[in-house]
Amino acid sequence: MKHYAVLLLPGLAPLCLGFGFVVSASAQSCTNANYQGTYYIVYSGTVGGGQPFFEFEQNIADGKGGLTSTVLANSTGQSVGQTVSGTYTVNPDCSGTHNVVRSAAFQLVAGGKRKLEGVSAAGDVLSGEAYRAAANCTVGGLSGEYGLLINYGIVGNVVFTEAGSMTFDGKGGFTFVESENGTIYRGSGSYTVKSDCSGTASMVFTGTTYHVAAALVEGGKILLADNDPGEGFFGVLEPVSNRFVLPQLAFGGSWYSAIYFNNTNNYPVSFPVNFFADDSTPLNVPGTGSSASVNLAAQASSIIEAPDSGSLVQGYASVPLPPGVQAYAVFRQSVSGVPDQEAVAPLANALSTQATLAFDDTNYTTAVAIVNPSNTANTVSISVVDNTGAVIGAGSVNLIANGKTEAVLRNLTGLSGIAGKRGVATFSVTSGAVAVLGLRFNGTAFTSIPAISN
């Protein structure tokens, strides 16, 4: 039993007891406070009685009726960077009006996370959809493959659309593929991300550089718009890759970890793998660094290894797996005088709000690694029932944004009642996501326990 403590050390985030109660309202009622924070909106339509037009804006609402709007891009190349202040009013039925840049009627939806707008006056006919900005945006937080749709492009008076994909490396670089009327365009570029979740990108293809304004918004989407004079487009990016987390990565101090990847597709794929310490900072893996780019030919496989070198280091791995790519991890512990022990571990879905873990703590020790893959701090609630369904423990763990902790399950505050019992532990969050991996120890032997994501 002495070896499990080497892999899963104490050092938990602050813990607190308690249950979360959710109260639902029977009817929706809105005030100005429902429209508060930073939003990004794209308008499209016609101005001046028929001229095709779009505009990309950042809107900041103070929750009290004050609104500022900054033009990030438009199809004329004019007024970019201009900031205008105005007012807004939200009605009890969540409809409203505002007067900034132009007067518009709007409807708040999804509790104020989104806003639908319409303008029809003085020869202008425009519609728009606003999204609230994502939280704690960084360059490293933007990685993986996204589907691209150019909703509305303008060259002169010609309107066009395109579809394709973009793949971000988490380091400020990307590649893309676009299709327009059967013609395929490929290119690459660079990107930046600001703390307010706005950003820029430079796209290079067919010998031309396009300068793009962008914004990361809630729900995982990215809005983008070309801000070059005389032409333009706006579009949306939707995640294609499924983000996964290996909640426990351990190397050194007798431990070795490896992640295997298998491309079942009949075409090549590329994607990044990023490593983080428990405190969310980048984690350097010997021989690899804090991130790696995996390039797989059709039907090919690959491995990333974290060697047993130096003292024990713990963290986790995050990877946006493209469709058709399989992955799993292997842990190995090497102790003098004892045969090496290995266990295979699955990766956990990084978008799930709940994970359940069936455990047996009778003659064994159950340990868990818990990751908050969200960009905001979160509280993970833990409830435990025994094999009869009776509640035998409840607690919670506070995790920083993109943070992680590991512990023996019974040692978490409020969960001592599971000792010597079998049952199911449920880990859940009310927003964001949680990823969990269980490990069971019996002397020097150990194995993983998959947590089922919901």
Beta pairing, strands 158-169 & 143-155: antiparallel
Q: What percent of the chain has pLDDT over 70?
A: 90
The whole-number pLDDT of residue 231 equals: 65
Mean pLDDT across the chain: 85
Is residue 7's pLDDT more than 50? no
Euclidean distance between CA atoms 58 and 38, whole angstroms: 7
CB 148 within 8 A of CB 237: yes
pLDDT average, residue stretch 410-421:
94
Euclidean distance between CA atoms 240 and 166, whole angstroms: 9
Beta pairing, strands 301-306 & 255-263: antiparallel
The whole-number pLDDT of residue 215 equals: 94
Strand-pairing partners, residue 342, are 332
Q: Which of 262, 261, 260, 256 is nearest to 285 (CA)?
A: 256
- Strands (DSSP E) found in 376-444: 378-386, 391-399, 404-408, 422-428, 435-442
pLDDT average, residue stretch 380-405:
95
Q: What is the DSSP string of 313-330?
A: EEEEEEEEEPTTEEEEEE
Is residue 239's pLDDT more than 90? no
pLDDT average, residue stretch 230-245:
79
* CATH fold for domain 4-21+242-453: Hypothetical Protein Tm1070; Chain: A (2.60.290)
| Radius of gyration from C-alpha coordinates of the chain | 25
pLDDT average, residue stretch 404-418:
95
- CA angle centred on 139, ends 151 and 40, rounded to 5°: 40
When pLDDT is cut at 50, 70 and 90, the band that residue 49 belongs to is confident
pLDDT average, residue stretch 5-11:
39
Residue appearing with tokens 């509280």: 379
Q: Give tens-digit pLDDT for 76-109.
A: 777 788 899 999 999 999 999 998 878 899 999 9
pLDDT average, residue stretch 156-166:
74
The whole-number pLDDT of residue 160 equals: 66
Q: Give tens-digit pLDDT for 170-192.
A: 788 888 888 776 778 788 899 99
Q: Determine the 3-state secondary structure of 395 from DSSP.
A: strand
Is residue 204's pLDDT more than 90? no
Residue appearing with tokens 């190397």: 251
Q: Give tens-digit pLDDT for 343-389.
A: 999 999 887 889 999 999 998 999 999 999 987 889 999 999 999 99
The whole-number pLDDT of residue 365 equals: 92
Q: Give tens-digit pLDDT for 425-437.
A: 999 998 778 999 9
Q: Give tens-digit pLDDT for 95-152.
A: 999 988 788 999 999 888 899 999 877 788 989 899 999 876 888 778 777 888 887 6
Out of 154-163, 298-307, 361-370, 415-424, least confident range: 154-163
Is residue 398's pLDDT more than 60? yes
The pTM score is: 0.56
Per-domain residue ranges of the chain: 4-21+242-453, 31-240
The whole-number pLDDT of residue 192 equals: 93
If phi > 0 it is left, if psi is from -120 to 50 it is alpha, else beta; for residue 389 that is: left
The whole-number pLDDT of residue 244 equals: 92
Euclidean distance between CA atoms 441 and 333, whole angstroms: 12
CB 60 within 8 A of CB 38: yes
When pLDDT is cut at 50, 70 and 90, the band that residue 448 belongs to is very high
Euclidean distance between CA atoms 95 and 59, whole angstroms: 17
Give the pair of three-digit tokens for residue 268. 């090549």
If phi > 0 it is left, if psi is from -120 to 50 it is alpha, else beta; for residue 58 that is: beta
Q: Give tens-digit pLDDT for 276-329.
A: 999 999 999 999 999 998 989 989 999 999 999 999 999 999 998 887 889 999
Q: Alpha carbon of 27 to those of 21, 106, 108, 111: distances in Å?
A: 19, 20, 15, 12
